[in-house]
């Protein structure tokens, strides 16, 4: 299939608005309009024309496109970015601030937004705003997939600041039946689903309805909403011109496959906005246009967007690990593993239990569970509701940060970042070790300081200082399972809280 070169939509472009000299003023138009309505000839032809006007007045002005705009418009956001890049000047290398803009659409009431990655790439500040609302909100890019040109944003509200929360090893309070809890602190007649909401939090944002791109038809009417050339909340309409288009983007090493082609206007600033069917359902994310032709634009199919969300964007955005794994079957979410010593160990949750709700929000499937888990803050106890043998139970659970969850699952330890001595040298201090894990086999103990690491596949390179969790995560991510990693660690053998070279230990961790 031939490939189509396309220009990527990015950056802020301001459309200059000019006035036409010599045009009739609005006041003059208002003076003439009544004469057109009441004056002039009154012969049979004019009476017939008047009858036509009367008939036209009875026709509804509302169209399917305008209904789509009314339904979906409140969930479309205008994305503004500020980015800094180094530029060479006569005074040397200096930072240049640039502004950009694009579009996005809300997919979850808590303020999760899907947009194009190129809209927010290298942005140090992101703000989003809604049509008709003078307030703009700061947003954070919480995950992205550059190769798919997709990014997930989260609107940041003042009451959502997480701050610094301690690691909790397990929840307190143990197992209790939901029916017992209902009698104590609820008046819902014992209904385990009472009080559940689709989202939790003081501010809920309007969302778009997700459609499917599996049954799209060439010639089908579509609607695009976005902010072309900085003109916020612009609606355009057209048809699906073609399906399964492969598009290459020169200069950015992007090669899209299976895009939707449409003649609905997709211009600079429409990037990241929704492409909708006539039912107001999301069928694609507008991403590129053919700059050398008119009315040739492309959108990422929503089924592909959904797959990237579930496989990459949601998992990578999750900041809290709850200590258990789930699988989905015909009955819903089933617990496939509860990690010993993990956050869920003290809850009574067992393998085979069916998860009903998380933080008082129903989670009937894997997608809703992933979305809800994004709302759980590290260390904040939330209720997990699960069913077993016809009975429903509720227990509190306080999650760890996702990085410690990764370390625990991968090599069997958790760590915290600390600064030591007068130089404030950073280390990773071991907090817990899982018996029988690779870390336990290495001989790591609680309180040890991890100082450096080097995969044995990189013998020509120096060891990497373990100054933070992200560095350890990068090292583990960069090697396959079974790789041997040399570890340098300090242990306070004499209990003086000082670490010298004779307290430096070396070993090999097998990932």
Query: For 270-285, how does the pLDDT look when each residue is reduced to its tens digit (9 = 90+)?
Result: 889 999 999 999 999 9
How sure is the predictor about 42, in pLDDT bands with cuts at 50, 70 and 90?
low
What distances in angstroms separate CA 132 from CA 63, 224, 232, one per listed residue?
21, 18, 10
Query: CB within 8 A of 367, min separation 6: which ones?
Result: 306, 309, 310
Query: For 66-118, how does the pLDDT look when each residue is reduced to its tens digit (9 = 90+)?
Result: 999 999 999 999 999 998 777 887 777 777 888 989 999 999 998 999 999 99
* Secondary structure of 163-221 in HEC code, one letter for each residue: CCCCCCCCCCCCCEEHHHHHHHHCCCCCCCCCCCCCCCCCCCCCCCEECCCCCCCCCCE
Classify residue 313 by its DSSP letter.
I
Q: Give me the catalytic one of 75, 101, 103, 118.
A: 118
Question: Is 149 among the catalytic positions?
Answer: yes
pLDDT at 290: 67
Q: Give me the catalytic one of 101, 108, 149, 359.
A: 149
How sure is the predictor about 39, in pLDDT bands with cuts at 50, 70 and 90?
low
How sure is the predictor about 159, in pLDDT bands with cuts at 50, 70 and 90?
low
The SS3 assignment for 232 reads: coil
The continuous run of DSSP H or E covering 67 comes out as helix 64-72
Opening angle at CA 12, ends 10 and 16, nearest 5: 130
CA-atom Rg of the chain in angstroms: 29
pLDDT at 41: 60
Read off the tokens for 171.
């929840």
Q: How far apart are CA 449 and CA 316, in angstroms?
A: 27
Q: Which domains, ranges and CATH numbers included, belong to the chain?
A: 1-11+60-157+204-312 (2.40.10.120), 176-202+318-398 (2.30.42.10), 404-510 (2.30.42.10)
Tokens 């029916």 found at: 179
Q: How far apart are CA 446 and CA 462, in angstroms?
A: 26
Q: Give me the catalytic one of 10, 75, 271, 437.
A: 271
Pick the more confident residue, 192 or 137: 137
In contact, 364 and 371? CB cutoff 8 Å = no
Query: CB within 8 A of 183, min separation 6: which ones?
Result: 190
pLDDT-wise least confident of 47-51, 76-80, 126-130, 159-163: 159-163
Q: How far apart are CA 288 and CA 295, in angstroms?
A: 11
Q: How far apart are CA 440 and CA 208, in angstroms?
A: 48
Opening angle at CA 316, ends 306 and 486, nearest 5: 145
Backbone angles phi, psi at 14, to 5 degrees: -95, 125
| Closest listed residue to residue 370, CA positions, set 286, 308, 301 | 308
pLDDT at 255: 87
Q: How far apart are CA 37 and CA 50, in angstroms?
A: 9
Query: For 221-245, how does the pLDDT look when each residue is reduced to its tens digit (9 = 90+)?
Result: 999 998 866 677 889 999 999 999 9
Share of the chain above pLDDT 70, in %: 81
Read off the tokens for 473.
């995560």
Question: Is 271 among the catalytic positions?
Answer: yes
Question: Is 213 among the catalytic positions?
Answer: no
Read off the tokens for 239.
């048809």
Q: How far apart are CA 323 and CA 339, in angstroms?
A: 6
């Amino acid at each position: 299939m031939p490939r189509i070169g396309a220009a990527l939509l990015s950056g802020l472009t301001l459309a200059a608005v000019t006035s036409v000299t010599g045009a009739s003023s609005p006041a003059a138009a208002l003076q003439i309009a009544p004469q057109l309505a009441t004056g002039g000839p009154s012969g049979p032809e004019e009476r017939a024309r008047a009858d036509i006007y009367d008939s036209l007045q009875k026709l509804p002005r509302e169209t399917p496109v305008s209904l789509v705009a009314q339904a979906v418009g409140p969930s479309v956001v205008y994305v503004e970015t500020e980015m800094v890049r180094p530029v060479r000047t006569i005074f040397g290398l200096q930072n240049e601030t640039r502004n950009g803009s694009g579009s996005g659409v809300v997919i979850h009431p808590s303020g999760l937004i899907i947009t194009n990655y190129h809209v927010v790439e290298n942005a140090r500040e992101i703000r989003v705003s809604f049509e008709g609302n003078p307030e703009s909100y700061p947003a954070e890019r919480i995950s992205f997939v550059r190769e798919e040109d997709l990014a997930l944003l989260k609107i940041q509200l003042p009451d959502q600041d997480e701050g610094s929360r301690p690691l909790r090893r397990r929840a307190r309070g143990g197992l209790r039946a939901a029916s017992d809890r209902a009698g104590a602190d609820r008046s819902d007649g014992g209904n385990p689903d009472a009080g559940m909401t689709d989202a939790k939090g003081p501010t809920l944002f309007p969302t778009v309805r997700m459609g499917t791109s599996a049954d799209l038809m060439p010639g089908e009417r579509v609607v695009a909403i976005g902010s072309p050339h900085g003109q916020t909340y612009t609606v355009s309409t057209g048809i699906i011109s073609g399906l399964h288009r492969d598009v290459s983007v020169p200069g950015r090493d992007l090669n899209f496959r299976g895009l939707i082609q449409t003649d609905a206007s997709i211009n600079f600033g429409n990037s990241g906005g929704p492409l909708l069917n006539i039912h107001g359902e999301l069928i694609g994310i507008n991403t590129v246009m053919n700059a050398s032709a008119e009315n040739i634009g492309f959108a990422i199919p929503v089924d592909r967007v959904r797959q990237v969300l579930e496989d990459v964007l949601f998992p990578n955005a999750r900041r809290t690990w709850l200590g258990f794994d789930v699988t989905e079957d015909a009955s819903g979410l089933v617990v496939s593993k509860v990690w010993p010593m993990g956050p869920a160990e003290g809850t009574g949750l067992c393998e085979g239990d069916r998860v009903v709700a998380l933080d008082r929000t129903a989670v009937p499937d894997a997608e809703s569970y992933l979305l809800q888990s994004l709302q759980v803050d590290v260390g904040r106890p939330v209720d997990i509701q699960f069913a077993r043998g016809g009975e429903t139970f509720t227990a509190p659970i306080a999650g760890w940060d996702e990085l410690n969850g990764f370390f625990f699952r991968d090599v069997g330890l958790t760590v915290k970042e600390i600064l030591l001595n007068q130089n404030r040298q950073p280390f990773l201090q071991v907090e817990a070790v899982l018996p029988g894990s690779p870390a336990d086999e290495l001989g790591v103990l609680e309180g040890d300081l991890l100082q450096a690491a080097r995969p044995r596949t990189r013998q020509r390179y120096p060891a990497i200082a373990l100054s933070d969790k992200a560095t350890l995560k990068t090292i583990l991510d960069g090697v396959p399972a079974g790789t041997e990693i040399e570890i340098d660690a300090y242990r306070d053998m004499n209990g003086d809280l000082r670490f010298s070279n004779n307290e430096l230990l070396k070993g090999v961790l097998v990932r």
